[in-house]
Chain A
Amino acid sequence: MIAIIDYRMGNLRSVQKGFEKVGHEAFVTGNPEDILAANGVVLPGVGAFKDCMSNLTEGKLIDPIHKVIKGGKPFLGICLGLQLLFTEGEEFGIHKGLDIIKGRVVRFPEPRTPNPEPLKVPHMGWNSINIRGQGVKGSRGLNPRTLEPSNPLFKDIPDNSYFYFVHSYYVVPEDDSIIASTTDYGVEFVSSISKDNLFAVQFHPEKSQEMGLKILKNFGDMCKT
């Protein structure tokens, strides 16, 4: 079973229904014991960085999250669930994150900076992802035997596939080697990361139709093995 962490932020039902649609059982829970007992854990989330951190603290959920990730179980962060893994975020002042990934969470440049076509913030809508290493023979990120992307989260997902985004901040990891994909929105920002059992995406797989459901399926498959 996959545990979806409930900390009173955002639309959790769509994540749960997405897993069910692709044949994986998932349940929404705010109970630390349930989270520790699950085969895989999802940290979803929309809303403000600071509120999410304080809700995680109040729910006594921070310790279980660290334990699950250290323990090697598949873990998937979605949107704010990616950003919270980082050292600190700058939304409404500097706030401490979970500090599992070294790095910062920063805002897109102001939309009114002189530009013929100023970019709107939030970055909202469908954008494509450039999967690291994909399509480049011998580059890091490819499985040396099959030349397929070795990242199991992106199994059967072609490079440049579209996903649904809605966010005003993006992550800047210190260690480039954890970058799983990037996306272009005025700046080229990190749209997903992966490190061993830890995966996190800035976009919303549960809102990204066919390709998004594939991500949930791939993650669910990892939880079964």
Chain B
Amino acid sequence: MLTRRIIPCLDVKDGRVVKGVKFLNLRDAGDPVDVAEGYDREGADEITFLDITASHENRNIIIDVVYRTAERVFMPLTVGGGIRTLDDIRNLLKAGADKVSVNTAAVKDPEFVKRASERFGSQCIVVAIDAKKVESRESRVRSQEINSNLPLLKWEVFTHGGRNPTGIDAVEWAKKMEEYGAGEILLTSMDRDGTKEGYDIELTRSISEAVGIPVIASGGAGNLQHLYDGFVKGKADAVLAASIFHYREYTIKEAKEFLRDKGVNVRLTNY
């Protein structure tokens, strides 16, 4: 049987792993290759690098990081952040990435996802969706940040790292992206991201049930029960977590043993 996946995510800025809360108070946490290798040893199922490098000139640093990672780490590697063109994708895959995740570029031009999946195969195109509950949108309507005439949605898609609202319904968007050739959805709840209160289960389940491609739950994991809830209640195929693993609150192995004991099918390695 196919096992459920646990995916640690590293924020990478100018070629270094950084840790912080909501991209604030960032501090250096080492070489991404070393950190990835550590997770590989622990038996992580995949690894994701999110490139948060601000300046465009330093974008190619991530290529070098991927290049070096592929020499030492033999598990699936996904890279996201700032991907805009087919050349960006080609360069990352050539350096040794297996999948790329696109967010803003997909919202700007959905056909980009179509072209990318036709060119490189659906299996390597992950569409990242940053979604926020509409309650928080309604409060923005009240404060006149956005137009109240937009149709009412349950969860709204955001771009640019959660800064820009789009007016797009997250569930509809996920279905559309599947149709356009996405091989997987990386779903982040902006309401929960950084809170350690657990994944947005309702959002995760709604999207997982709406599409026929795998869904990765992200945003809010604070303990191992949250991972369990993401799989069992949220019906996620994989869970992404950053801080609980970075700060050594739990090891990957502890997380998997916890899940296995509760009846979730996970892959435990002996080495």
Contact = CB atoms under 8 A, between A and B. Distances in A.
A126 B3 contact: yes
A13 B70 contact: yes
Contact of B75 (A47, A128, A209): A209
A17 B96 contact: yes
A20 B72 CA distance: 10
B81 interface: no
B123 A14 contact: no
Interface in B96-128: 96-98, 118, 120-124
A206 interface: yes
A110 B212 CA distance: 8
Contacts of B1: 127-128, 184-185
Contact of B183 (A21, A124, A126): A124
Contacts of A206: 74
A191 B98 CA distance: 20
A58 B267 CA distance: 41
Given A125-B237, A126-B3, A166 B123 contact: yes
Contacts of B97: 11
A122 B74 contact: no
Interface residues of A, number: 41
Chief secondary structure at chain A's binding surface: mixed
B118 A48 contact: yes
Given A47-B121, A126-B45, A166-B123, A120 B74 contact: no
Contacts of A210: 269, 271
B2 A123 contact: yes
Interface of A: 10-11, 13-14, 17-18, 20-21, 46-48, 110-112, 118-128, 162, 164-168, 184-185, 204, 206-210, 212-213
5 contacts: A11-B94, A119-B2, A124-B184, A162-B3, A207-B75
Given A11-B94, A167-B123, 19 more contacts: A13-B94, A17-B70, A47-B120, A48-B121, A122-B214, A124-B123, A124-B214, A125-B5, A125-B45, A126-B267, A128-B1, A165-B2, A168-B123, A184-B1, A206-B74, A208-B75, A209-B40, A209-B43, A209-B75
